[in-house]
Amino acid sequence: MPIHEFSLVNDKGWMQMPLEVMPTYLWADGGRLADAPVDFAKTFGGNMWLSTEMDPSFNINGLRCAPGFAVPRHHHNLDELIVVFAGQFHVTWATEDGGEDSRTVGPGEFWISSAGTPYLMTAGPEGVSYTETWPEPMANLLTWWHDEGWVRS
């Protein structure tokens, strides 16, 4: 297998985030995200891009967000590792005592979200390019979306 080299910080190799709602995207109050009272296309359209260079069989996605875009609050059934390559994310998450905590993650830094922890990520003024990865195949990943951060249907 040849070595494949690419950059997540240039403008080559990106496509708009696919706007079909995946069956593993669930609404936190129950049911599928496709049936929730939010608009996936209007929320993500023009705000988020997926790397076409990365091989998803490695359980890793390359992603990019527009300046100021807030990825709606969500949580996963698996721990997630996020590594920032350019720009920054401000991450806010729920704490065990019912409060919230936050931090800003910049280039070369990472953040780990524990399975079941709802969080909201907002791109900084220059946007953000990052990877996300999980300890199991992506086919095992479930995502529950919460009400905060969506364009309503």
Q: Is 119 within 8 Å of 80 (Cβ atoms)?
A: no
- Predicted pLDDT at 7: 80
The pLDDT assigned to 2 comes to: 67
Q: What is the pLDDT of residue 49?
A: 95
Return the CATH number of 22-145, one of 2.60.120.10, 2.40.420.20, 1.10.645.10, 3.40.50.1260: 2.60.120.10
The DSSP bridge partners found for residue 62 are 131
140 Rama sector, left if φ>0, alpha if ψ -120 to 50, beta otherwise: alpha
**The model's pTM:** 0.90
Secondary structure, 3-state, 52-102: CCCCHHHCEEEEEECCCCEEEEEEECCCEEEEEEEEEEEEEEECCCCCEEE
> Looking at residue 1, what is its pLDDT?
55
**pLDDT tens for the chain, residues 1 to 153:** 566 667 888 888 899 988 788 889 999 988 999 999 999 999 999 999 999 888 767 788 999 999 999 999 999 999 999 999 999 999 999 888 989 999 999 999 999 999 999 999 999 999 999 999 999 988 899 999 999 999 998
